[in-house]
Amino acid sequence: MSGGAYLVVDVGTTKVCALVGEIKGNEQWVTGIGFVPSSGLKKGTIVNLEEATSSIKQAIEKALVQAKQTPQVVLASIAGSHVKTWTGMGVVVLKNREVTPEDVDEVIQAAQSIDLPQDQMILHVIPQEFVVDNLRGVQQPIGMSGVRLEAHVQLITAQRSQVQNLLRCFENLGIEVSAVLYQGLASAEAVLTPEEKDLGVLIIDLGGGTTDFAVIQEYVLKYVGSIPVGGENLTNDLAIGLRTTKTEAERIKIEKGVCLRELVDEQEEVEVPGVGARPSRRISRRVLAEILELRMKEILELVDQNISKNVDKSLLTGGAVLTGGSALLPGLIYLTDQILDLPTRIGYPVKLKGLGEEINHPQFATAVGMLVYAFQNYQLEEIKTSKGKGILQKLKEWIKGF
Ligand X SMILES: Nc1ncnc2c1ncn2[C@@H]1O[C@H](COP(=O)(O)OP(=O)(O)OP(=O)(O)O)[C@@H](O)[C@H]1O
Q: Which residues contribute to the site for Mg ion (CB under 5 A)?
A: 12, 207, 366
Which is nearer to ligand X, 73 or 79 (by Cβ)?
79
Q: How far apart are CA 76 and CA 350, in angstroms?
A: 19
40 belongs to the binding site for ligand X (CB under 6 A): no
What single DSSP character describes residue 316?
Answer: -
**104 within 8 A of 158, measured Cβ to Cβ:** no
- Total residues interacting with ligand X, rule: CB under 6 A: 25
Report the nearest approach of Mg ion to the CB of residue 318 (Å): 22
Which is nearer to ligand X, 186 or 340 (by Cβ)?
186
Q: Choose, by CB under 6 A, the member of 175, 250, 258, 307 that binds ligand X.
A: 250
209 belongs to the binding site for ligand X (CB under 6 A): yes
Report the nearest approach of ligand X to the CB of residue 175 (Å): 20
Q: How far apart are CA 30 and CA 20, in angstroms?
A: 6
* Cα four-point dihedral sign 294, 297, 303, 306: negative
Residue 363, C-beta contacts closer than 8 angstroms, at least 6 positions apart: 15, 17, 324, 325
85 belongs to the binding site for ligand X (CB under 6 A): no
Report the nearest approach of Mg ion to the CB of residue 312 (Å): 27
Strands 201-206 and 320-323, bridge-based pairing: parallel
Contact code string over 253-272 relative to ligand X, x by CB under 6 A: xx--x---------------
Report the nearest approach of ligand X to the CB of residue 225 (Å): 14
Report the nearest approach of ligand X to the CB of residue 30 (Å): 17
Other C-beta atoms closer than 10 Å to the C-beta of 319 total 18
Residues 290-329 touching ligand X, rule: CB under 6 A, are: 324-326, 328-329
Binding segment for ligand X (CB under 6 A), chosen from 6-14, 260-268, 313-321, 352-360, is 6-14
Report the candidate in 174, 205, 196 with the shortest Cα–Cα distance to residue 80: 205
Instruction: Give 185-201 as a 3 state SS string.
Output: HHHHHHHCCHHHHHHCE
**Binding residues vs ligand X (CB under 6 A):** 12-15, 44, 79, 183, 207-210, 230-232, 235, 250, 253-254, 257, 324-326, 328-329, 363
